[in-house]
């Protein structure tokens, strides 16, 4: 493959160019990929996504907190993350088209919906919807500085999650309606 920055050749799968040391992997996450991974993993992927996002905010804003615990307690911290993202967007001159309180409240409500009696608990399956504006805004933030296209392919571990999640989704749907 060819580096878009210095035209040097590199092996597929490398994260940085061996010559100019520029990043070769985009931080942009296509919305469809986020939705698919969130849906088939019943929110497990959201833990990973929140962890990566909180680690990014921590590094970018030079804050001191545990990204792991903020991700683990994501239903409680989703609104706080949305507010931090909105501040970061404003610093770059981007208008975030979301309300941090509404995002946090909707994510908390949908995450708690898993505790509703069957079949209403299926509403909790949609808890990724309030995060879509955050994914779009974060992508806009990353696209300001990146010259490389978004990564539309899946890693091997994502394929495993998709397969296991699809099986679990099928079993859940069948169990709820039989």
Percentage of the chain exceeding pLDDT 70: 95
What average pLDDT does the structure give for the chain?
Answer: 86
Average pLDDT over residues 118-132: 86
End-to-end CA distance of the chain: 51
Cα separation of 77 and 83, whole Å? 10
Query: Before 17, cis peptide (omega within 30)?
Result: no
Long-range own/partner contacts, residues 49-54 (CB < 8 A, 24 or more apart)? 49/131, 50/74, 50/77, 50/78, 50/81, 53/81, 53/85, 53/134, 53/138, 54/81
Task: For 30-69, write each residue's pLDDT tens digit.
Answer: 899 999 888 888 888 899 999 999 999 999 999 999 999 9
Percentage of the chain exceeding pLDDT 90: 43
Confidence of residue 1 (pLDDT cuts 50, 70, 90): low
Enumerate the domain spans of the chain: 31-148
pTM of the model: 0.81
Burial bucket for residue 93 (CB in 10 Å: 0-12, 13-18, 19+): exposed
Q: In this predicted structure, what is the pLDDT of residue 43?
A: 82
Q: In this predicted structure, what is the pLDDT of residue 136?
A: 94
pLDDT of residue 85 exceeding 90: yes
User: Which residues on adjacent β-strands are paired with residue 9?
Assistant: 2
Confidence of residue 123 (pLDDT cuts 50, 70, 90): confident
Q: In this predicted structure, what is the pLDDT of residue 4?
A: 72
């Amino acid at each position: 493959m060819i580096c878009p920055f210095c035209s040097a050749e590199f092996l597929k799968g490398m994260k940085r160019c061996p010559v100019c040391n520029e990043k070769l992997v985009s931080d942009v996450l296509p919305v469809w990929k986020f939705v698919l991974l969130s849906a088939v993993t019943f929110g497990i992927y959201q833990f990973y996504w929140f962890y990566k996002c909180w680690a990014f905010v921590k590094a970018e804003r030079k804050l001191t907190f545990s990204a792991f615990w903020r991700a683990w307690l994501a239903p409680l911290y989703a609104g706080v993350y949305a507010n931090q993202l909105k501040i970061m967007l404003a610093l770059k001159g981007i208008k975030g088209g979301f309300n941090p309180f509404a995002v946090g409240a909707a994510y908390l409500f949908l995450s708690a919906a898993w505790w509703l009696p069957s079949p209403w608990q299926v509403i909790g399956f949609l808890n990724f919807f309030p995060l879509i504006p955050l994914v779009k805004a974060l992508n806009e933030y990353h696209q300001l500085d990146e010259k490389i296209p978004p990564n539309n392919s899946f890693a091997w571990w994502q394929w495993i999650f998709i397969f296991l999640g699809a099986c679990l989704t099928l079993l859940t749907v069948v169990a709820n309606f039989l």
